[in-house]
Amino acid sequence: MGLSEDPELQPILFGLFLSMYLVSVLGNLLIFLIVSSDSNLHSPMYFFLCNLSLADIGFISTTVPKMIVNIQTHSRVISYVDCLTQMSFFAIFGCMDDMLLTVMAYDRFVAICHPLHYTLIMNPHLCVCLVLASFLVSLVDSQLHNLIVLQLPYFKDVEIANFFCNPSQLLNLTCYDVFSKSIIMYFTGAIFAFFPIAGILFSYYKIVSSILRISSSGGKYKAFSTCGSHLSVVCLFYGSGIGGYLCSALSSSPRNYLVASVLYTVVTPMLNPFIYSLKNNDIKSALSRVYWKAIKSPFQFHTCLSLH
């Protein structure tokens, strides 16, 4: 369906979403490059942040470029194979975001509740295994959606009430009875949404309990500040995602669901780099070092030429 039928709005939507896409990709890429190049940020928390940035780039790249092309070409048609491909990558990167946010919550739990054993527990081998496990779970989620949809009658000349091939909406277009569709949706939701959310809530329950036992207010603030960025991203990601599903379940208007879809597929990946750069002193210090290094490099080169 796209976002609007109004032809006068198409150039505005094109410019808006192209800008948001570029900001999101460049912002997440900048976070990845900063963390990779600065040795002070070579820790488990920032290793997971690097992977989250890559997942966000993939997540927004599965939906927005196709929508921008559709606006430019004035065509909203997508083939069956392309739709399944888009759905698969959307499920992979969306689930990766989900899993990595859970892993990052566990990392903060270990850092605050077991600080003396942090380096021993969160060793490089475990960090790599957690990221690989997140990817494998995401791949299973994607293939499960594929297997479900491939068992359904062949789609032809159907209208998707969104700007991309959303897995839940593809399932709603099928001829399956309501009970079977509900079982499938609740099963996938329980495995790939309930357990990660439960893990994050349990981690923060333990974190808050540990922080409240700290006697000094300075220690409490320092402990809370290490979780601020992650907690903001978690609230933004799950808040917009849950809002989208509630809109689809409670509202009969597809436009309400479209707005919620834009929030968690476009706005959330775009805001994540800003949240981590503005609320994280380590990232701000690294950005400052890179900035001053870039400023000094031309000056040093000019001085070298003058001496010669």
Q: What is the overall mean pLDDT for the chain?
A: 82
**Residue 105: inside a domain:** yes
pTM: 0.86
CA-wise closest residue to 126 among 110, 139, 142, 112: 110
Number of independent structural domains in the chain: 1
Mean pLDDT of 278-301: 68
In a domain, 304, yes or no: no
Q: Kindly state whether residue 306 falls inside one of the protein's structural domains.
A: no
Question: What residues make up the domain containing 12?
Answer: 7-296
Instruction: Give the domain CATH number at 74.
Output: 1.20.1070.10
Is 303 inside any structural domain? Answer: no
- For the stretch 201-243, pLDDT in tens is 999 999 888 888 877 777 777 777 778 888 888 888 887 777 6
- Tens digit of each residue's pLDDT (9 = 90 or more) over 167-188: 777 777 665 556 666 666 666 7
CB atoms inside a 10 Å sphere around CB 244: 23
206 three-state secondary structure: helix
Burial of 61 (0-12, 13-18, 19+ CB in 10 A): middle
Question: Taking residues 278-297, what's their average pLDDT?
Answer: 72
Which parts of the chain fold into alpha helices (H)? 10-37, 44-61, 64-73, 80-113, 118-121, 124-150, 167-172, 178-189, 195-212, 217-250, 254-262, 268-279, 281-307
pLDDT of residue 301 exceeding 50: no
